[in-house]
Amino acid sequence: MILTVAPGISLGAGGQSASGVVPISATGNLTVYLRPVGPVVVDVTKPDGMTVSDEGMIRIVKSGVVVNFAPTLPDVRKFSTDLSTAVTDFTGSASVRVGGTPSFTLTPDYLLTSVPAAQAGKAWWADSASGKWYIVNADGTAQGFRAK
């Protein structure tokens, strides 16, 4: 019922998985994977609809029933297994492949950093002076990576 609020989306084949992942099919052969988070709330003051927060959380309201979802992987256990067998070392570095061959290695900074005012609102940025890429976390910190 909750998914009927947005035109063009429907519950994907197979329904909710045993680990709680909900595949959502949308027009254009797009499938996204969501995991319900937090309690289901009844709030009749909220209008029907779907919204996306700045943190990427999806809130769907239908007839006063409010459900929050977080984007996720289709199979978290498989991803964990695949990740444990990837091109990594004890520094946390990972080789990135473009076109099937190793192109560069990303080495993460050990400490998270604050997002500079000039980069506010961005999901990521590159700093040519330091040669690093930064990815912004949901909590407002950023993870730096050196590309080699």
Structure tokens at 85: 């067998």
SS3 assignment, position 42? strand
39-65 average pLDDT score = 88
- Mean pLDDT, to the nearest integer, of 80-99? 67
Per-residue DSSP letter, 54: T
How far is residue 37's CA from residue 15's CA, in Å, rounded to a whole number? 17
pLDDT tier for residue 83 given thresholds of 50, 70 and 90? low
pLDDT score, position 22: 80
Are 6 and 34 in contact by the 8 Å Cβ rule? The answer is: no
More confidently predicted of 30 and 130: 130
State residue 51's pLDDT score.
Answer: 86
Our CA angle for 67, 71, 50, nearest 5°, is 40
Calculate Rg over the CA atoms of the chain: 19
- pLDDT at residue 100 in the model: 67
Q: Which of 25-29, 65-69, 92-96, 144-148 has the highest mean pLDDT?
A: 65-69
Question: Cα separation of 114 and 84, whole Å?
Answer: 29
Backbone angle region of 14, left / alpha / beta, with phi > 0 → left and psi within -120 to 50 → alpha:
left
User: Which of 46-50, 79-83, 89-93, 107-111 is predicted least confidently?
Assistant: 89-93
Element (H, E) at 78: helix 76-84
Q: Look at residue 15 in the predicted model and tell me its pLDDT.
A: 73
Query: Residue 119's pLDDT band (boundaries 50, 70, 90)?
Result: very high
